[in-house]
Amino acid sequence: MNLGDLLPVFAATDAAAASAERNGKFTEFPDEEPTVKQMNDWLEVNLPVITKSHGELMRGALPPALIQLKAEADADLTDYVPVTIDTSTAKTTMEGQRHNKAVRDAIVRKATATETLLSSLRNIKNGVAQDLIEALTPRAPLRLKARLEAHKDAHVAQCHDGIAMFKELIALRGTTGLIEESIDHDIAVEEMRDSQLPDGCAVARCAIPRS
């Protein structure tokens, strides 16, 4: 095979990558047990997509838009302590009221920033998970089910950490990861097959012994 024979392949890969990056969507995942080449080809197309849209989170950092929220959520309120208002004069009464209001406002501001930060991160990660659901459902539903179960949100139903899911797909790039995943996948296939027996017995129990 010469270089000319490979040009259509290169062109198709480039076109898929350009389309995926333009649409912000992942291409279809190749298989339940992808080969090393299939995995590398898929990542070559889709890694730039998630890097472009969520590169900071993939590196373990915050998107720029959330940095200020993080600072407000981490505000140190050690010195923000309510005081007993001295009502002996109008001035001390007003000063005490002003101080206690500042304490209440700081507490509310910190709580609001914390909730907004967590909600924003959850929405971003779940958005990635939804794109992965679309990409993995056609050819890798078992792999998708396992990833969703492993990375479901502990507090909000039907929310998942798509960033962590994508990182696990990146880890499949190596041969060792593929072998280990294949073992888990084979076990899952066997469990599904056994559960479909009409009388409910297991294959090992119902199999006819060989003579």
Residue-level pLDDT at 14:
53
Average pLDDT over residues 67-74: 98
Using a pLDDT cut of 90, give the percent of the chain over it: 70
Residue-level pLDDT at 102:
97
Residue-level pLDDT at 173:
87
How many CB atoms are located within 10 Å of the residue 173 CB? 15
* Cβ atoms of residues 66 and 104 within 8 Å: no
157 phi and psi, to 5 degrees? -65, 150
* Cβ atoms of residues 138 and 31 within 8 Å: no
Average pLDDT over residues 122-145: 97
Q: Smallest Cα–Cα separation from 169: which of 17, 57, 26? A: 26
Residue-level pLDDT at 116:
98
Residues 1-35 pLDDT 10s: 454 554 444 444 455 555 555 566 999 999 999 99
Residue-level pLDDT at 174:
75
Strand-pairing partners, residue 152, are 160
Residues 159-204 pLDDT 10s: 999 999 999 999 988 754 455 555 566 666 666 666 655 555 544 4
Residue-level pLDDT at 166:
98
Residues 82-97 pLDDT 10s: 999 999 999 999 999 9
In whole angstroms, what is the distance from residue 114 CA to residue 108 CA? Answer: 10
**Cα 85 to Cα 15, 101, 165, 187, 196, distances in angstroms:** 70, 12, 53, 68, 72
Which stretch of DSSP H or E encloses residue 156? Answer: none
Contacting residues for 19 by C-beta, under 8 A, at least 6 apart: 27
Give alpha helix (H) positions in 30-140.
36-58, 64-73, 90-136
Strand-pairing partners, residue 160, are 152
Give the mean pLDDT of the chain: 84
Residue-level pLDDT at 206:
44
